[in-house]
Amino acid sequence: MTASLPPPASESGRLEALERLATEAAAEEIAREARELAGRLAEGRFYVACVGQFKRGKSTLLNALLGEAVLPAGVTPVTSVVTVVRHGQALAVRVSLEDGRSLSVPPEALSGYVSEAENPGNERGVRAVEVFHPSRLLEGGLCLVDTPGLGSVFGANAEATKAFVPHIDAVLAVVGADPPISGAEAALVEEVAGHGAHLVVVLNKADRVADADRDEAARFTARVLSERLGRPVGPVLEVSAAERILRGATRDWNAFEKAVSALGQGAGAALVRAAEARGVERLGRALVRDIEERRLALSRPLEESERRLAGLRLSVAGAERALRDLGTLLAGEEAHLTREFRERHERFHPEALRRARGELEAGIRSLGGPRWRLRARSYELAREVARRAVEAFRREAEPAAEEAYRRSTERFVALANEFLDRVARSGEPGMDRLPRAVGPEPGFRARSGLFYTNLMYLTTNPLPWALDLLWPRDRTVRALRDRVGDYLGRVLESNGSRVANDLSERVAASRRGLEAELRGALRRVVAVAEGAIERARLRRSEGEGAVRAELLGLESLSRRVESLLALPGGAEPAQAAPPP
């Protein structure tokens, strides 16, 4: 091992020295991150991340800033993929994969790598995506970052967002009025602000709520964030990205664009300097912890480590049994929710059918055109009426179902938090890095698989079609009213049941996902301890001399990292003025 390091003259030099130390310590992930951070900062690039729950319209907001639809936007959340939009001479996309490969893909293929619909569960193994765009907003080094929407702490989407938090230099916190800012969103903003990042808060989709509700949501958001941060957060800018795209700037959009532009024009250099200092401290401390974990595993008697591991396994097994028992209760709650959805459908159907038949009959009476087309147009009308009625039912039932699911998981989440906190305080190496809390489930974590049926086989009997041509028009209209009305009732019943069944299936899939991820987190606790013991066992198999040499080398490495962290990195960067 190298005996010493020459003192670096700058933060960038400290990052390079840190990369060398991490490489020497075989901490490849820390070395890679230090190398990437040094490269980004050498180019003067800083990250302005758009964060918030899914369905807040983050991607649409960034598209409106860029002036074109670059990022895929929709109602489904993206996968666990962070997308960085940086300056380039022309629109282009580069995808970095977890296996180390890098791909250039056409911009129109971007959704295939970042959307949940086309890359479910990140099955393509995407580590990061960079979009190059010629926007003048990005010329000064500002990079816009589209982050996955927040779910629970252990959800893949939220994990990617939380893992990216230390890299954020400024944040666009995107909240809404319906529902208003959530606890998970407020916690994330607090965490980001704790890293010194600048903050711009926007209330998006301002066009979708009444003025009074929107203003109340903005005041509530400002109050919650001010209490969390212990300081005023500035104005909550009320914007609508959809309005900006369709009709130009409305509401507070001009103030929002000015705030983002100010980050790029005036605060960029200070943000880069602050990012360098934070990066050195964060990665250096991570390397110290990694070295200490290895040192403890080597210095502690192997038998003691194995006893502690056995105890940890027993604790995890006990927690898994408790989660399994609670999972049984959760499954019972799931059955209760399924009954509730079906009862809701049973209440919906009679009144919806009465209104739908009245709408259908009025529509059939007003139909013109040749008689041979009346039946086909009546069936088309019936399908349209049924779909409107079922969609109204779905829009009413889905939010209520998500809230019922959220409530049903509260006890399950509380038990998981209790165990995680106990393990994190156990003193085992690496356990302090585990999350201390699972966030409440904000809603379904499973996508809807709903599709409607038109029951076309009910419309294919040729005899009624022939009679339409033989009967007088009035009699044909009466026959259509009865037969097509019956068809309408069948379609309405079938698709209403599909909505209720889809909600039940999403509850079941969301529950299974929550249980699996919590159990996975518990097993990762054991994996951390097993990894440290395995490394110690390997060194001990090489003899006491190898163990002593390894301990001396680790102590030397730790001292050199601490010395690097203690070096002056230049004057503390001045805090840039908050954007207007």
* pLDDT single digits (tens) 48-57: 888 887 678 8
If one compares 558 and 263, the residue with the highest pLDDT of the two is: 558
Architecture of domain 302-541: Up-down Bundle (1.20)
Give the residue among 430, 433, 413 at the shortest CA–CA distance from 312. 430
The enclosing H or E element of 94 equals strand 92-97
Q: Cα(first)–Cα(last) distance of the chain, in Å?
A: 51
- Residue 73 scores a pLDDT above 90: no
The CATH 3.40.50.300 portion of the chain extends over: 43-266
Average pLDDT of the chain to the nearest whole number: 79
Determine contact, residues 277/11, Cβ cutoff 8 Å: yes
The enclosing H or E element of 393 equals helix 374-408
- Residue 556 scores a pLDDT above 80: yes
The CATH superfamily label for domain 43-266 reads P-loop containing nucleotide triphosphate hydrolases (3.40.50.300)
Q: pLDDT tens digits, residue range 435-469?
A: 555 666 666 767 677 888 889 888 888 888 887 78
Q: Report the range out of 13-17, 178-182, 195-199 with the highest average pLDDT.
A: 13-17
- Residue 432 scores a pLDDT above 60: no
Q: Which of 134-148, 201-215, 556-570 has the lowest mean pLDDT?
A: 556-570
Q: pLDDT tens digits, residue range 214-271?
A: 888 888 999 988 888 888 888 899 998 888 988 888 888 999 988 888 877 666 677 7
Tell me what pLDDT residue 134 has.
93
Can you tell me the mean pLDDT for 505-517? Answer: 78
User: For strand 83-87 and strand 142-146, is the pairing parallel, antiparallel, or unpaired?
Assistant: antiparallel
Tell me what pLDDT residue 570 has.
38
230 DSSP 8-state letter: T
Q: How far apart are CA 63 and CA 135, in angstroms?
A: 11
Q: pLDDT tens digits, residue range 345-402?
A: 999 999 999 999 999 999 988 887 787 788 888 999 999 999 999 999 988 888 888 8
SS (H, E, C) 33-77: HHHHHHHHHHCCCEEEEEECECCCCHHHHHHHHHCCCCCCCCCCC
Q: pLDDT tens digits, residue range 515-531?
A: 776 776 667 666 766 76
E strands, 192-319, are 198-203, 237-238
Q: Report the range out of 6-10, 197-201, 249-253 with the highest average pLDDT.
A: 249-253
- Order of all β-strands in the sheet with 237-238: 102-105, 92-97, 126-133, 83-87, 142-146, 46-51, 170-175, 198-203, 237-238
Q: What share of the chain is helix, strand, coil (3-state, %, to 5)?
A: 65, 10, 25
Tell me what pLDDT residue 574 has.
33
Residue tagged 């912890």 (tokens): 289
Tell me what pLDDT residue 371 has.
76
Integer CA distances (angstroms), 482 to 205, 300, 369, in order:
43, 84, 20
Q: Residue 3 class from Cβ within 10 Å (0-12 exposed, 13-18 middle, 19+ buried)?
A: exposed
Q: How far apart are CA 275 and CA 166, in angstroms?
A: 9
Can you tell me the mean pLDDT for 329-351? Answer: 86
The CATH 1.20.120 portion of the chain extends over: 302-541
Tell me what pLDDT residue 571 has.
33
Can you tell me the mean pLDDT for 271-279? Answer: 80
Omega of the bond leading into 179 within 30 degrees of 0 (cis): yes
Can you tell me the mean pLDDT for 132-150? Answer: 84
Q: For residue 8, what pLDDT band results from cuts at 50, 70 and 90? A: very low
Q: How far apart are CA 364 and CA 381, in angstroms?
A: 8
Q: How far apart are CA 145 and CA 85, in angstroms?
A: 6
Buried b (16+ CB within 10 A) or exposed e, 562-572: eebbebebeee
Q: How far apart are CA 115 and CA 162, in angstroms?
A: 19
- Residue 154 scores a pLDDT above 50: no
- pTM attached to this predicted model: 0.58
